[in-house]
Amino acid sequence: MSTAAKGLEGIVAAETVLSFIDGERGILEYAGIAINDLAKDSNFEEVSFLMLNGRLPNKPEFDAFLADLRGAYTISDHTIGLLRSIPATAQPMHMLRTMVSALALEDPNPNSIDIPEVRAKAIRILAKVPTIVAGFDRLRRGLDLIAPDQNLTFAANFLYMLNGEKPTATMERAFDACMILHADHGLNASTFTARVITSTLSDIYSAITGAVGALRGPLHGGANEGVMVMLNEIENVSEAEQFVMNKLAAKDRIMGFGHRVYKSYDPRATYLKTLAEQLANDTGNADLYAKSHAIEKTMDREVASKGIYPNVDFYSATTYHSIGLKLDLFTPMFALSRIAGWAGHALEQLDGNRLIRPKADYVGPHEKPYVAIEQR
Ligand SMILES: CC(C)(COP(=O)(O)OP(=O)(O)OC[C@H]1O[C@@H](n2cnc3c(N)ncnc32)[C@H](O)[C@@H]1OP(=O)(O)O)[C@@H](O)C(=O)NCCC(=O)NCCS
């Protein structure tokens, strides 16, 4: 019997038109368009349309998409009631997994696998999750909920509902770029989870709920929190170089560096670095950027020759902190954006579905006698 590589490394398990990754050359494209061009010139709404349809929209299609998305920002009284019942001490990713699942309860036809209907449900989930995350954070801080504003972009509306004031143009741009950069990344663990669930012809709520659970793991969505913890450990810029040297000497990992796929500069980090610097300067967090930059300089000198460069998490941490997000909201931010990719893959899976059902190699004994419990 042939056994696949542990962790399915190198195995091709699906076809997609959504994202292309070339780790050696540092390329990431969504539907053939370079990630940097999208991060600079597009917006998260357009990228979400791209994920759900495999291509960019024309103007009338985009206007209709915006109307659907913004029209679904509001959450029902039932959902607000559930949100209020969640303990303030709950971890946001556990809250999010529960609340995405609960959205199915008020859908009169949650199990539909009709592709246009699933796409419409995905738009509604994408629209409501920011309202849920911002609402949870305000409730746990003892603050009133802020109703979404349909005149605002996805990025601006989320920050408005969270902070109670409209973000600056730089904050909105930086947050929007983070959303674009995290929307899809091939057959990563949470996306694979969403496709496996969809392949059983289960519903889109189950697929996204399962994906949120997979994303929560520290080997997947949790690394940006690790970067922030590290930046907090370094008291000032002058200590950054020594901090890195000590870690490397102890064979410890520097969070936010290295990637299983990218062996050159992570293409998602390039533009984010510029935004992180601008935002940090604007928000009085210049020291945070300076520490990040000093870490990168030392890493570049010491380990770039091994193909270790900053990954997307490294400058996301400075960006999210400068926007005013609490540490435990960093991974939910990843989810806010990746819902577009998960749903896009679920739609691809439904189109020409085949149940994903690999085999396990049995490595236990055979022909053992059954021994009664009293004799064991
Ligand atoms: C992401 C990661 C797991 C990929 O690891 P990988 O492809 O399995 O690479 P390996 O573990 O085989 O590492 C190869 C070499 O680079 C070194 N290395 C890899 N990442 C490193 C890091 N972040 N800091 C310091 N050294 C690192 C390893 O120590 C190893 O060195 P050696 O050959 O001298 O033993 C790894 O780079 C890592 O742990 N990074 C930090 C966590 C992180 O930022 N994760 C988010 C990814 S988006």
- Are the beta carbons of 342 and 100 closer than 8 angstroms? no
pLDDT surpassing 70 at residue 131: yes
260 falls within a domain: yes
CA of residue 259 to ligand 1 center, whole Å: 7
For ligand 1, whether the C-beta of 255 sits within 6 Å is yes
Which structure tokens are listed for 57?
Answer: 């929209």
pLDDT surpassing 80 at residue 275: yes
206 and 310 in a single domain? The answer is no
Q: Residue 233's domain is classified under what CATH number? A: 1.10.230.10
213 and 227 in a single domain? The answer is no
Span 46-70, pLDDT tens digits: 999 999 999 999 999 999 999 999 9
Rounded to whole angstroms, how far apart are CA atoms 82 and 71? 21
189 falls within a domain: yes
Looking at residue 22, the DSSP 8-state letter turns out to be E
User: Catalytic residue positions?
Assistant: 220, 259, 313
188 and 43 in a single domain? The answer is yes
Contacts 24+ apart (CB under 8 A), 109-115: 110/203, 110/205, 111/202, 111/203, 112/203, 113/201, 113/203, 113/350, 115/347, 115/350, 115/351
Provide the number of structural domains found in the chain: 2
255 and 279 in a single domain? The answer is yes
Q: Considering just the CA atoms, what is the radius of gyration of the chain in Å?
A: 22
154 and 297 in a single domain? The answer is no
Which ligand 1 atom sits closest to the C-alpha of 247? 25
In this structure, the number of other CB atoms found within 10 A of the CB of residue 251 comes to 6
Percentage of the chain exceeding pLDDT 70: 99
Nearest CA to ligand 1 atom 8: 260
For ligand 1, whether the C-beta of 308 sits within 6 Å is yes
257 and 126 in a single domain? The answer is no
365 falls within a domain: no
For ligand 1, whether the C-beta of 221 sits within 6 Å is no
**Positions of E strands within the chain:** 19-22, 27-30, 33-34
Which of 188, 257, 264, 295 maximizes ligand 1 atoms within 8 Å of its Cβ, making it the mutation to test the pocket?
257
Span 135-180, pLDDT tens digits: 999 999 999 999 999 999 999 999 999 999 999 999 999 999 999 9
Rounded to whole angstroms, how far apart are CA atoms 98 and 47? 26
For ligand 1, whether the C-beta of 306 sits within 6 Å is yes
For ligand 1, whether the C-beta of 207 sits within 6 Å is no
CA of residue 177 to ligand 1 center, whole Å: 25
| Span 315-332, average pLDDT | 94
Task: Give residue 290's pLDDT.
Answer: 96
- Are the beta carbons of 319 and 228 closer than 8 angstroms? no
Which strands, in side-by-side order, build the sheet including 19-22? Answer: 19-22, 27-30, 33-34
Task: Give residue 219's pLDDT.
Answer: 83
pLDDT surpassing 80 at residue 1: no
pLDDT surpassing 80 at residue 107: yes
Structural domain span for residue 36: 14-217+339-350
Nearest CA to ligand 1 atom 31: 306
For ligand 1, whether the C-beta of 311 sits within 6 Å is yes
Which structure tokens are listed for 292?
Answer: 């990040």
